[in-house]
Copies of this chain bind each other. A is one copy, B any other.
Amino acid sequence: LTQKAPTIQEVARHAGVSIGTASNVLHGKSDLHSSKTSQKVWDSAKALGYRSNHLARSLARQRTNTLGVVTERHQPMMIRNLYFGYLLDGFLEYAVPHAYQVKLISILNDDPQNGVLHIENGTVDGVILIAPVIDSPLLSWAQQSRLPVVVCGSTLPESSGLTCVDVNNEQAVRQAVEWLIQQGHRRIGFVKGDRLHWSARQREQAYMRTMQEHGITPQQDWLAQGDYMLDSGRKAMEQLLKCRPPLTAILAANDQMALGIIDACRQYRVRIPAEVSVVGFDNVEHAALTIPALTTVHHPVREIGMRAAELLIEQVETGERFAKRVLLPGELVVRESTRPLETEAVSATNHNRTTNQ
């Protein structure tokens, strides 16, 4: 079978019809033609093993029916793999049945110009941007391009004029913090995510705001900088362990870092949750398997992927770009890494708070 693939022209000739007619019945309105003609064409197509050339079709129609998934290359691989995998899963889940194919566009962040060339080369009808960082050149490109775009995993300011789909970081973090407070905790530490990410900034803000709304002013040393990677959680914990009086609970901006915290606690023989409660963010697969099982906020990544596909396809098919913000709620999943603070501890904490303020 080393022969070339048959073209629509050969099908037309074989069926004894014009090439336009063949095209019509094969793709366009087949009810334009007599059923006898249609049948002839289909028969010929089958006989020759015809498969239409998507490239030629796309060029002629000025529509590729393919969507691009754009990632910046420098993202930490671990994060990328976890977030990316689920997101892609949801994206495909929606796009494929809607007759869209997907192309991966992996951009080296040291060469944004070149990256944009790979996007606007006619091969995709629209793109999703995966978790672009705060100063990403992709964002400014997206703002002035006329290609439909949906941003996932970064909640941009309203003023960006771009559609984005993300977990509601504000709501999600608030839920976690308020729950800890309800459990009697007040000295709650926070491990920040990678400062390049919108999500890191927003989660930190939500933490600060919620604490303050409850009359708690986090001290400087209650916060530690992380970068969303496991090891940074370990390091952050070493630092937070020095707080005096000690923190009774710690919220990490993602699960990877929470895993690092758990590991550090094991190393330093700090018991979770007896001595400190730990809460993560994402609800990765493994969060249920740590010892103790991690209390965390579920991040609906798959759903985000599906919604993104939906919103992107909507823009492609209506032909108009819009700027919606879809924020899916996170949901606290309480497991075993947290516990209520006992009365005695609570009063101790209250005392500390007084001295702190």
Contact = CB atoms under 8 A, between A and B. Distances in A.
A220 to B, nearest CB: 30
Copies of this protein, total:
2
Given A64-B55, A144-B1, A101 B96 contact: no
Contact of A122 (B5, B108, B120, B291): B5
A148 to B, nearest CB: 13
A85 to B, nearest CB: 4
A80 interface: yes
A144 B274 CA distance: 63
A211 to B, nearest CB: 29
B122 A259 contact: no
Interface of A: 1-2, 5, 51-56, 58-59, 64, 66, 69, 77-78, 80-82, 84-86, 88-89, 92, 96, 101-106, 108, 117-118, 120-123, 144-146, 230, 259, 263, 266, 285-286, 289-291
Contacts of A104: 69, 88, 92, 101-104
B103 A103 contact: yes
A126 B111 CA distance: 27
A311 to B, nearest CB: 19
A140 to B, nearest CB: 13
A80 to B, nearest CB: 7
Given A1-B144, A259-B289, A56 B54 contact: no
B122 A56 contact: yes
A81 B54 CA distance: 28
Nearest to A106: B92
Given A103-B103, A286-B286, A54 B92 contact: no
Contacts of A266: 291
Contact of A121 (B51, B80, B86, B89): B51
A108 B106 CA distance: 25
A85 B92 contact: no
A55 B286 contact: no
Nearest to A321: B2
Contacts of A86: 81
A122 B78 contact: no
Contacts of A120: 5, 51
A263 B289 contact: yes
Given A59-B56, A121-B54, A1 B77 contact: no
